[in-house]
């Protein structure tokens, strides 16, 4: 039996022009961008479609990415796409919430705007850092980090790629020790803060307060939470999981494995770039990976899904 997951990328995949063709060609996409502009008091067309110096700032990146992915999702749903499960990497989890019917699209846009501001303000610029650790087993990385303070695993992306996060000095020391332990490379990332580290626990608490006003519905389809890589099928745990997510490790590899074990064989990445596609392929060569970034991608994906369901 074919089971389909819709998955959504996180921060870092943003680029000027993302979603513009969807806006120009589909009313459903226009409505998402226009509504987001109205509720946020920002010109989302300018932010997403034109070259500017704000798109890479966390407080703007997050609402721009979520708006874009949800605009694409709205068109796909209008054309009949039905998923069995949803998931997203970090920020992308909010798109998964909307796809699963847990959170209204504009509530997702509003809350990630607040989330972005809280994360931007959590740690003074220049004091935090993140680094990608290549070709070293998770267990070895965990062992090295256990002897250090103020640094932790931020993302379990896929076999051979794990991201660490924390205070800048601690991350640099961790990189030295991980290289000694056999890591092929440790690459410092161009980010504005130590995301998914304990340093953002205060931001998570403030996000929890903001979430109190957001209506959460029982998932219409399950979604996979970043914090524990487990299916969420009820409304009760959602807010606490989102509060924890800011300062907890993103268990993306484990999340994909959860879906694979449940019989998901087709993953559709919705949003700019193909970052998640690369991760999924490294987790399972058998997984079927599709992408929707442009309208022509969408038509091809819908045709393939239709043919697959008719087989």
CA-only gyration radius of the chain, Å: 19
From the list 69, 165, 192, 196, the catalytic residue is 196
From the list 69, 90, 165, 247, the catalytic residue is 90
Provide CB contacts within 8 A for 307, sequence distance 6+. Answer: none
Whether 196 is catalytic = yes
Q: How far, in Å, are 8, 88, 140, 204, 290 from residue 297 at the CA level?
A: 15, 19, 39, 36, 9
Q: How far is CA 40 from the centre of its chain?
A: 20
Question: Angle, to 10 degrees, between the axis of helix 105-122 and the axis of helix 92-99?
Answer: 160
Which residues are catalytic, by number? Answer: 90, 196
């Amino acid at each position: 039996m074919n089971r389909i997951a819709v998955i959504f990328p996180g921060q870092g995949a943003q680029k000027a022009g993302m979603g513009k063709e969807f806006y120009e060609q589909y009313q459903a996409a226009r409505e998402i961008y226009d509504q987001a502009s109205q509720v946020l008091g920002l010109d989302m067309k300018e932010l997403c479609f034109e070259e500017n110096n704000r798109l890479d700032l966390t407080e703007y990146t997050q609402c721009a990415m979520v708006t874009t992915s949800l605009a694409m999702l709205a068109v796909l749903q209008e054309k009949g796409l039905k998923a069995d499960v949803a998931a997203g990497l970090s920020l992308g989890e909010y798109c998964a919430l909307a796809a699963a019917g847990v959170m209204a699209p504009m509530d997702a846009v509003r809350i990630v705007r607040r989330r972005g501001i809280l994360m931007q303000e959590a740690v003074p610029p220049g004091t935090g850092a993140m680094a990608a650790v290549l070709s070293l087993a998770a267990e070895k990385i965990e062992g090295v980090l256990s002897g250090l303070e103020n640094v932790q695993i931020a993302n379990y992306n896929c076999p051979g790629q794990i991201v660490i996060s924390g205070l800048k000095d601690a991350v640099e020391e961790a990189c030295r020790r991980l290289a000694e332990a056999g890591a092929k490379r440790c690459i410092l990332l161009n980010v504005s803060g130590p995301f998914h580290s304990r340093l953002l626990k205060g931001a998570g608490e403030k996000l929890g307060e903001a979430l109190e006003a957001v209506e959460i519905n029982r998932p219409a389809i399950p979604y996979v939470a970043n914090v524990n890589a487990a299916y969420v099928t009820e409304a009760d745990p959602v807010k606490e999981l989102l509060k924890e997510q800011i300062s907890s490790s993103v268990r993306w590899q484990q999340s994909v494995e959860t879906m694979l074990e449940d019989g998901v064989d087709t993953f559709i990445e919705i949003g700019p770039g193909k970052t998640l596609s690369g991760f999924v392929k490294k987790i399972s060569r058998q997984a079927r990976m599709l992408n929707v970034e442009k309208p022509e991608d969408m038509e091809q994906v819908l045709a393939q899904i239709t043919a697959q369901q008719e087989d």
